Amino acid sequence: MSGATFLHFIDNSFVPSATDRYFDKRSPVDGSLLGSIAEGGAAEVDSAVRAARAALQGSWGRMSLAQRTEMLYAVAREIDRRFDDFLDAEVADTGKPRSAASHVDIPRGAANFRVFADAVKNVPTEFFEMTTPEGRKAFNYSVRAPKGVIAVICPWNLPLLLMTWKVAPALACGNTVVVKPSEETPGTATLLGEVMQTVGVPAGVYNVVHGFGADSAGEHLTRHAGVDAITFTGESATGSAIMKVAADGVRPVSLELGGKNPGIVFADCDFDAAVGGIARASFLNTGQICLGTERVYVERPIFDKFVAALKVKAEALRPGHPSDKTTGIGPLISLAHRDKVLRYYKHAIEDGATLICGGGIPQVPDSLAGGAWIQPTIWTGLAEDSAVVREEIFGPCCHIRPFDSEEEVVSLANDTPYGLAATIWTRDVGRSFRLGTSITAGIIWINSWFLRDLRTPFGGSKQSGIGREGGIHSLEFYTELRNVCVAT
């Protein structure tokens, strides 16, 4: 990183915009100017992809698995060593409370490198000995080869965590990467370039091109013929656009997309745990988590009590500066995103919702008035066909509806074009197993939320994505499986 200017990182060097184009990065906390970001276009993308290709064919491609994984452990140690720099960068870009970023985002950034370095050393291989009816004999064995140059396109909500979730397994498998971070969050991807330099990762293995999506760095990257596979996290509509581009050249895609996830609370639940769990699922990271819960279904006998208890949790979330230890909720990522969320808040009232709490912009000190602050919001009384109940808002809000039977709530929960996650709260073991198979989502939490073993499959069904990442599933995407048949 060079001062307050975020440069591309290509072939082991920080490079300025080839066209002298830069755009502003403003703080979500107070609207102040944080710096300017180089905007990449076709030229920078081409340089980065060429560097990535050369590294594949050069020293990175020749490294042994042991050497490669040692480098990834060194990357993890260097992130740990520069923990405060990563924390400062992530908090500046997103405005999230420091306590949250220091517990989740930065440790997971380092953990991703360790987990996938471990995983790649334990990948099983297939072996078959064969004899034909005529007596010809052969040994067949499978080998995993890297896919090649991987385009990694990331969102802004958990920038380091989600970027390293893709970069670490891609590198562990011997690929090279060109990363296009979100235009909202250039910081930690740029810092990771410094880490790669310090650790001695060969030039061209990790590249970053900053910029926007359509008609900018993102689209140039996905269209580049030198890219062998695309891994993307972001909105479903963007995923769909990327998939169309990837069809040219029949390139594989891994898509981790949006969600409109149900939270289901049965009357037999541990009430306090359920209220706490749904409060986290609806409001953590200011509701900007793909796995979050914007649709809550509560069994009728405890409905009123639950709504009242969740209201208390929401109203206790005090907005404030990221460094203030008493801050309960940060701002949204930008004023533009707040406008979008506020349109849904207005829409809810127009559609006849009962506003339980929130619904607008909170009071904040004058010094923070230019930030993208928003109130945690709860509604009841909306019809299931309201856009507020059907579309992903990506803000700190939820609609709560009562239900009367397991069959009814399964049908309500599954009536969505998305299928990313669900969180279910019940003490009935049999029911938890039944819902574990009848809810159409990639990740189903019982009496928990956002609890992950990184070896498990992660991804969504329906419009929430294609493919699974995590553990062996990431290694499946980032490698090409070949069979070798040796006649004996």
Active centre residues (catalytic): 256, 290
Q: Which residue's CB is nearer to ligand NAD, number 330 or number 465?
A: 465
Q: Which stretch binds ligand NAD (CB under 6 A): 74-82, 178-186, 277-285, 315-323?
A: 178-186
Helix axes 159-172, 83-94, angle to 10 degrees: 130
Residue 234 touches ligand NAD, criterion: CB under 6 A: yes
Per rule CB under 6 A, count of chain residues that contact ligand NAD: 31
Map the footprint of ligand NAD across residues 278-307, applying CB under 6 A.
Answer: 290
Asked if 219 touches ligand NAD (CB under 6 A), the answer is: yes
Q: Give the 3-state secondary structure of residue 208.
A: strand
Q: Report the residue number, 52 or 307, with the smaller CB distance to ligand NAD.
A: 52
The type of residue at 368 is L
Query: Binding to ligand NAD by residue 206, rule CB under 6 A?
Result: no
- Distance separating alpha carbons of residues 209 and 321, to the nearest angstrom: 30
Chain centroid, CA 463 distance in Å: 15
Strands (E), 41-166: 127-131, 137-146, 149-153
Q: What single string gives the DSSP state of each residue in 32-74?
A: -EEEEEEPP-HHHHHHHHHHHHHHHHTHHHHS-HHHHHHHHHH
468 binds ligand NAD (CB under 6 A): no
Nearest Cα to 294, choosing from 222, 426, 387?
387
- Judged by CB, which is closer to ligand NAD: 173, or 257? 257
User: Does 443 contact ligand NAD by CB under 6 A?
Assistant: no
Sequence-ordered alpha helix ranges (H) in 284-328: 303-315
Q: Alpha-carbon distance 301 to 392, whole Å? A: 28
Residue at shortest CB range from ligand NAD: 213
The binder of ligand NAD chosen from 28, 395, 460, 470 (CB under 6 A): 460
Contact code string over 250-279 relative to ligand NAD, x by CB under 6 A: ------xxxx--------------------
Residue closer to ligand NAD by CB (options 244, 482) is: 244
Report strand pairing: 354-357 vs 137-146: unpaired
- The answer to whether residue 161 forms part of the interface with ligand NAD (CB under 6 A) is no
- Taking CB under 6 A as the binding criterion, the range among 31-39, 71-79, 179-187, 344-352 that sits at the site for ligand NAD is 179-187
Q: CA geometry: angle at 453 spanning 447 and 455, to 5°?
A: 140
Q: What does each C-alpha distance from 71 to 83, 86, 207, 332, 472 come to in angstroms?
A: 18, 19, 16, 36, 20
Q: Which of 70, 85, 194, 235 binds ligand NAD (CB under 6 A)?
A: 235
Beta strands 293-299 and 261-265, pairing class: parallel
Among 14, 156, 206, 478, binds ligand NAD (CB under 6 A): 156
CB 322 within 8 A of CB 96: yes
Q: Tokens 């594989």 belong to which residue?
A: 252
Stretch in the footprint of ligand NAD (CB under 6 A) among 211-219, 271-279, 340-348, 409-417 = 211-219
Among 242, 307, 348, 400, binds ligand NAD (CB under 6 A): 242
Nearer to ligand NAD, 271 or 450 (CB): 450
Q: Does 112 bind ligand NAD (CB under 6 A)?
A: no
**Binding residues for ligand NAD (CB under 6 A):** 153-157, 162, 180, 182-183, 212-214, 218-219, 222, 233-235, 238, 241-242, 256-259, 290, 392, 394, 420, 460, 465
